[in-house]
Every structure is written in C-alpha cells, then in structure tokens.
C-alpha cells in the first residue's frame, strides 16, 4: 500500500510542475489577450505554483536524506555501543583470576549489554550431561543438570558451534515440549531463548542460555554481537580452566586433594605477617595418624591411601572455611587456624581427634577398620620467642607438642598449658588407681 502512495505523490508533483510550465508558456507566447494587470497576476500565480512544486520536491528529497542520515546515525551509534560493549567485556575477562569469578562476571556483563530476563552458563560434560555453573533467573531445578539438553540444542550447536534462536518454544519445538512435559520446571515461564555455544579451539565446551518473557523476543541481528561475546567467553573460560588445573596441581597433594607442604608454608608465612600487623592470634594444629606404618604393613598401601583420603576429609569437615588444611608429609596433616587462640584450637583439635577415632573405615575385605590420631598445637604470638623465626618456631613447637602427645600414649592433643596439665592429671589418676598400686 505504501508503494502506491509514493507513486501517486510523485505523479501529482509531475502534474503540478507540468501545468505550471504550460501556463507559463501560454502567458509568454501571447500576453496580448490579457490586460496588463491580469497578466501580472497570472505570472505571479504561475510562479508560485512552479516554485511550490520545486519546494515540495526539495522537501521530499530532504526527508529522504534525513531518513538515510537517521539510519546511518542509528547504525553508527549501534556500532559504537558494540565496540564499547566488547571493550568492557574484554576488560572483564582479563580482570579476574578465579574461574568462578570470571563466569559470574561474564553473565553479569552480558546483562548490561543485552537485557535478558534469564541466563544460564553450562559446561558440556557429555551428550546427556550439562553442568550448571551460573544461574540467573531460571528455576533452581535447572542446577541439577539432569535435563536432556541434547534434545533441545541438537547436533548442529554442539558439533558446528551454531547459535539457535527460539521465539516460541511451544510452537517451534512442540516435539520437544511434548516429549518433556516437565520442561517448565527447568525453564520457567520463558518463551523466547537464544542458545549460544561456548567454543574453544573449534571444540564445544559449554552453552550460554539467554531467555526472555514473551514470544518473538529475538531477531537474527541480535546474534551478531552475542556470538562474538560467546566466542570470546569460550576461549577465556578454557584458558582459565587449563591455568587453574596446572596451578592447583602445583599447590595440592595428588592423593588427598588438599594443599601440599609447599603451599602450606607459603600461606603460613603470609598469615603470620598479617597477624603480626593487625594483632590477632593464629594457631597451628599438627596431626599424625598413630602407628600408621604398622597399619600399612598389616593392610597394604592401597587401604592406607584410602585412610589418608578419608582422614583429610574428616579434618576438613571439622574446621571452618577460613582454615587451611594441608598434608605435611606421609601421614602428617597440618591445619592453620586464623584468629584462633590456644584454647579454641584445642577444642577443634579434640573434635577432630574424636571424629577420627569414632569413624569406621570400610573396605570390601575389612569392613571395620579404625585408626586414631595425635595432635600438637602452637599459637602465635603466645609461644614465639624470636619473631624473625616465627614460621620455623611455630612449626617446631607444634611438632614438639605432637610428639608429647605420642609419648603420653597417643590418641590425644597436646597444647602448652592445656594438654600437658591434662596429661599430668591422667598420670595422677593412673597412679591412684588400684590396678597401679
């Protein structure tokens, strides 16, 4: 309909100009038929008609170029926005060290660039398993990652890295919604989705799922910037994953998965410097499995390794997240307890000792194995004499108290001023008991 209006308008312009030319020619050719005053009026009238036609055409041309200019301005502003968005996104990717922080920032930055109602970032684990890393706005059930995404994303997205737009999931993916009637428990009441692959070295590693309420919320042009962002995010995530794998393998114990001796010493030094600066206490708890060499000789190293793993888990379960648990070497473990005085450290040590003593280590061959541990405690600054050697002294004092616990009969925790009194009391009780007389 709009095309017909344009044609009619142009024909009217041409007719107007043609008629003005015709009248003008008649007047020029034969002025004698009119009196002078009438000629002047006709001349002015024809001139007005002629110049009106010219102005109308000029105005139409101006509007046309104005629309072109507005379109160019819009495209320029969009390009500037995209450049600034990519600049911000690149800064975000390079500003964080931890993978978990990076993924959170990726999702939050996309929110500022593209106003989604829901967003999830998944890692691709297998054809039937996507692990949820970040969830914004979707039901919590999607975090279970047991939903068969393969039926939704298809081979083209996984193998070729192609993006997918869904503007009405009930109509466009009726087979999917029929096959999985519970899909709203995972996807909520969203109708429109953009599925963006996370690619690294031409390999599908994950998925960005964006969602909006209502149908027809996405157009193909939306994918251009979002695909650039998802490609950058995929490379950054993969590089960070590889870096963290190398980094954590360097600071963790290969058997138990807790921190190793090297990292423990580095962190102890940093924690002590911080405690010295701000004036709070730090306790060090050293734990050793009693008679572990004999245990290994009796049951074998494989069962011994299993015990080491479970003991490390039991220790971690007894301390708060601020504490650092590490394998000191062999069957010895250490725990850094920030902002913890000696008496509180002793309570924690006793809790660990009791939990391990009461724990049953089960194997198919030996379903009822038990071990005990001994512990030694040292506290900064209470037990430190030479501040220049505070790291070495703290370790030595904790180690000395550990051996005091061993010498006192094992399966106990020793701390200066606390456990030694307990040990003396136990000795006095034994002396007074009838069996020792």
CA dihedral 225, 110, 76, 193 (to 10 degrees): 50
- Residue 183: pLDDT above 60? yes
Do the Cβ atoms of 218 and 167 come closer than 8 Å?
yes
Burial class of residue 26 in the structure, from the number of CB atoms within 10 Å of its CB (0-12 exposed, 13-18 middle, 19+ buried): middle
pLDDT greater than 50 at residue 430: no
Give the range with max mean pLDDT: 175-184, 186-195, 217-226, 368-377: 368-377
pLDDT tens across 210-249, in order?
Answer: 999 988 888 887 788 788 888 888 988 998 889 888 999 9
Q: How many CA atoms lie within 13 A of 357 on its CB side?
A: 16
Give every strand in the sheet of 192-200, ordered side by side: 129-136, 118-126, 203-212, 192-200, 164-166
Structure tokens at 70: 């507005």
Give pLDDT tens digits for 154-166: 666 666 777 888 8
User: What percent helix, strand, coil does the chain show, rounded to 5?
Assistant: 60, 15, 25
pLDDT above 50: residue 428: no
Per-residue pLDDT, 387: 86
pLDDT at 353 over 70: yes
- Between helix 2-29 and helix 36-95 the angle, nearest 10°, is 150
Q: Are 134 and 107 a contacting pair, CB within 8 Å?
A: yes
Tokens of 306: 């299993």
Rounded Cα distance, 111 and 105, in Å: 10
Task: Answer yes or no: is pLDDT of 33 > 60.
Answer: no
Rounded distance, CA 163 to CA 221, Å? Answer: 12
- Write out pLDDT tens, residues 286-336: 999 999 999 999 999 999 999 999 999 999 999 999 999 999 999 999 999
The answer to whether residue 20 scores a pLDDT higher than 60 is: no
**pLDDT value at residue 423:** 41
- Based on the number of CB atoms within 10 Å of its own CB, is 197 exposed (0-12), middle (13-18) or buried (19 or more)? buried
pLDDT of residue 422 exceeding 70: no
2 has a pLDDT exceeding 80: no
Of 15-29, 207-221, 382-396, 397-411, where does the model show the most confidence? 397-411
pLDDT band of residue 134 (cuts 50, 70, 90) is: very high
Please give the mean pLDDT across all residues of the chain. 82
Position 79 scores a pLDDT of: 62
Confidence class for position 432, pLDDT limits 50, 70, 90: very low
SS3 434: helix
Q: Is the pTM of this model over 0.75?
A: no
Share of the chain above pLDDT 90, in %: 42
Q: Exposure of 400 by Cβ count < 10 A (0-12 exposed, 13-18 middle, 19+ buried)? A: middle
Q: What is the pLDDT of residue 436?
A: 32
* Banded model confidence at residue 378, pLDDT cuts 50, 70, 90: very high
């Amino acid at each position: 309909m709009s095309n017909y209006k344009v044609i009619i308008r142009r024909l009217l312009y041409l007719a107007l100009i043609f008629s003005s030319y015709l009248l003008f020619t008649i007047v020029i050719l034969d002025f004698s038929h009119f009196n002078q005053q009438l000629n002047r009026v006709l001349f002015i009238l024809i001139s007005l008609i002629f110049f009106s036609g010219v102005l109308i055409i000029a105005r139409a041309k101006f509007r046309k170029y104005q629309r072109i200019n507005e379109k160019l301005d819009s495209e320029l502003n969009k390009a500037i926005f995209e450049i600034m968005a990519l600049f911000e996104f690149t800064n975000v990717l390079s500003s964080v060290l931890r993978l978990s922080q990076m993924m959170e920032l990726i999702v939050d930055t996309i929110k500022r660039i593209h106003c989604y109602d829901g967003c999830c970032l998944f890692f691709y684990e297998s054809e039937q398993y996507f692990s949820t890393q970040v969830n914004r706005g979707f039901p919590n059930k999607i975090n279970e990652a047991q939903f068969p995404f393969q039926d939704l994303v298809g081979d083209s997205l996984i193998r070729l890295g192609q993006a997918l737009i869904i503007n009405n999931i009930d109509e466009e993916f009726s087979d999917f919604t029929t096959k999985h009637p519970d899909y709203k428990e995972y996807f909520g009441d969203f109708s429109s989705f953009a599925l963006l692959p996370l690619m690294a070295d031409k390999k599908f590693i994950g998925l960005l799922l964006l969602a909006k309420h209502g149908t027809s919320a996405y157009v193909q042009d939306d994918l251009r910037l979002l695909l650039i962002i998802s490609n950058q995010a995929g490379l950054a995530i993969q590089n960070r994953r590889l870096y963290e794998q190398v980094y954590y393998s360097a600071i963790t114990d290969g058997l138990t998965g807790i921190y190793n001796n090297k990292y423990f010493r580095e962190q102890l030094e940093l924690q002590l410097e911080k405690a010295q600066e701000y004036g709070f206490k730090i306790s060090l708890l050293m734990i050793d499995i009693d008679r572990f060499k004999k245990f290994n000789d009796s049951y074998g190293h494989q069962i011994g390794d299993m015990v080491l793993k479970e003991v490390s888990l039991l220790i971690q379960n007894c301390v708060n997240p601020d504490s650092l648990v590490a394998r000191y070497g062999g069957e010895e473990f250490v725990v850094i307890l920030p902002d913890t005085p000696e008496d509180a450290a002793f309570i924690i040590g006793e809790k660990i000792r009791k939990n391990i003593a009461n724990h049953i280590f089960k194997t198919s061959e030996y379903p009822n194995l038990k071990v005990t541990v001994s512990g030694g405690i040292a506290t900064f600054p209470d037990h430190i004499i030479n501040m220049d050697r505070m790291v070495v002294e703290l370790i030595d004092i904790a180690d000395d108290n550990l051996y005091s616990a061993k010498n006192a009969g094992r399966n106990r925790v020793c701390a200066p001023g606390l456990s030694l009194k307990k040990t003396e009391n136990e000795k006095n009780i034994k002396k007074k008991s009838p069996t020792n007389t």
